[in-house]
Amino acid sequence: MKKAYLIHGTSTRDDDWFPWLEQAAKPGIDLDRLWLPDPFSPHRQEWDAAIDQQIPASDQLILVAHSLGCISALRYVERHHLRDVRLLLVGAFDQPLPAYPQLNEFVTPAVDYHLITPRVTKATVITAKDDPIAPYQGSVAVAHHLGAKLIVQETGGHFLGPDGFTEFPLALKELQRIAN
């Protein structure tokens, strides 16, 4: 069984499609949904420390991330000397979001893709054109920097429970693809 880790954004590990994905990925993938402190008012240093405590810095790492979790996943890869990292990023961004200036500490300074990209062997970025939180162009830019497979949907919002995403078969399909 392969091991994967899910880094949520400004929701909790028990929200949206995360519990469903953990169950749906079995038995081939054991998905560990991380617990991150103060998710509705996050602080980068606290999140970095929590992520470092819960994810062993090992090769052949599989990371699934949503929203703010995506930049946190990229920072994790940037911080550690890893090989063969696989990423599934949903609603990704790496630039400030004008409507959410309190999150700027996560995106400044800019991530160093020159460190990250050589460590990533497979990656998928999923976004929706109608995302009201993280404009899809940000996900397109992240995918371009990573050389990732990019999936742009016409609709889907920010892929949250209120957007209808308590299950997410596309995420499961892409998780299985990058895990192999």
Query: Could you give the residue numbers annotated as active site?
Result: 67, 131, 158
- Whether residue 109 contacts residue 62, with contact meaning beta carbons closer than 8 Å, is answered with no
H or E element: which one contains 120?
strand 120-128
Is the CA virtual torsion 136, 45, 19, 87 positive or negative?
Answer: positive
Q: Could you give the 3-state DSSP secondary structure of residue 72?
A: helix
Answer yes or no: are the C-beta atoms of 21 and 4 closer than 8 Å: no
Strand-by-strand arrangement of the 29-33 sheet: 29-33, 2-7, 62-66, 85-90, 120-128, 149-153
The DSSP output letter for 129 is T
